[in-house]
Amino acid sequence: MSSHALFAGIIRQATRLLLPSDCTTCEQPLTDDPTPFFCRQCWGLIRPLQGPSCPRCHRPFASPFATTHSPTHECHDCRTRAPHYSQVWAAYAYCAPLQDAIALFKYRGKVALADTLGTLLAQALPADLTADLLMPIPLHPNRLRQREFNQSLLLADRAGPVLGSPVSYRNLIRIVDTDPQTTLPRSARLQNLHQAFSLRAPVEVTGKRILLIDDVFTTGTTANECAKVLLKAGAKDVAVLALARSVDAGMVPDAWLPPSAFDQPHALRI
């Protein structure tokens, strides 16, 4: 353990003695738990998704036999509306406690979680993942001023050294201040992002393999619009790396859920 990590642990324990706090997910008192805002038991529930999945977007399939006889079988969305990105890697299910952590990080400014979430992302990187350039999904300047940071950039900064790839955060920009995608029905999301992204220096991506970085992969509409802009500028390939992905509740094994999920129906927030 580095001296910095040791010092941070001492400060965290002292703070919890003076200002007791509870785990965000299970609401039990925190003691010497190493992860900010979460107890060991809850944080230990976060594990990569396993089993058969779509070969393009890696959305989990319900049946363990889904790809037994057809290894290249794609999900319905990828078959009917082929996306511009070539691959999606999003290792974890977007449910508590990871969803709680992302909400604290993204909406409540708990940037102390950036290293912890970055570590989760690094631990789940595919062994054969390579990229010439990492690009975080950009925020519009108005939203960036409100939030004061881009959560996708903080994750990209932590994935870059692991992959040995530089991070480009000024080139891909959001030029339209759209409504948040989560507030819109699926049918309206594509139109909402039409021509919402642009490149300041298209030549930077020509012939490059680009890896888009995001915190949560939901429908893929945002990543798809970014990929379209990058490919039009001459990018060789565009893939997506996200920390978590939305999945159906039935795809999350019970063993991954905190005890409160069985007592409070709202605890599993997919």
Q: What is the pLDDT of residues 204-228, one digit of tens each?
A: 999 999 999 999 999 899 999 999 9
- The strand order across the sheet containing 237-245 reads 88-93, 237-245, 209-217, 133-136
- Give the DSSP letter of residue 243: E
Q: What is the reported pLDDT for 267? A: 37
Q: What is the reported pLDDT for 112? A: 92
Q: What is the reported pLDDT for 33? A: 83
Mean pLDDT of 183-200: 75
- The first and second tokens of residue 17, run together, are 């003695």
Q: What is the reported pLDDT for 263? A: 47
How far apart, in whole angstroms, are the C-alpha atoms of residue 240 and residue 45?
Answer: 24
How far apart, in whole angstroms, are the C-alpha atoms of residue 85 and residue 199?
Answer: 17
Q: What is the reported pLDDT for 195? A: 86
Residue 36 has pLDDT above 60, yes or no: yes
Q: What is the reported pLDDT for 265? A: 40
Confidence at 128, pLDDT banded by 50, 70, 90: confident
Residue 14 has pLDDT above 60, yes or no: no
Residue 17 has pLDDT above 80, yes or no: no
Q: What is the reported pLDDT for 31? A: 86
Q: What is the reported pLDDT for 108? A: 94
| Between 212 and 266, the higher pLDDT residue | 212
Q: What is the reported pLDDT for 268? A: 37
Confidence at 19, pLDDT banded by 50, 70, 90: low
Q: What is the reported pLDDT for 104? A: 97
Mean pLDDT of 143-152: 95
Confidence at 26, pLDDT banded by 50, 70, 90: very high
Mean pLDDT (the chain) is 86
List the beta bridge partners of residue 244: 92, 216
Out of 15-19, 39-43, 188-192, 221-225, which region has the weakest mean confidence (pLDDT)?
Answer: 15-19
Q: What is the reported pLDDT for 242? A: 97
- The first and second tokens of residue 256, run together, are 């991954």
Q: What is the reported pLDDT for 63? A: 80
Out of 31-40, 109-118, 137-146, which region has the weakest mean confidence (pLDDT)?
Answer: 31-40
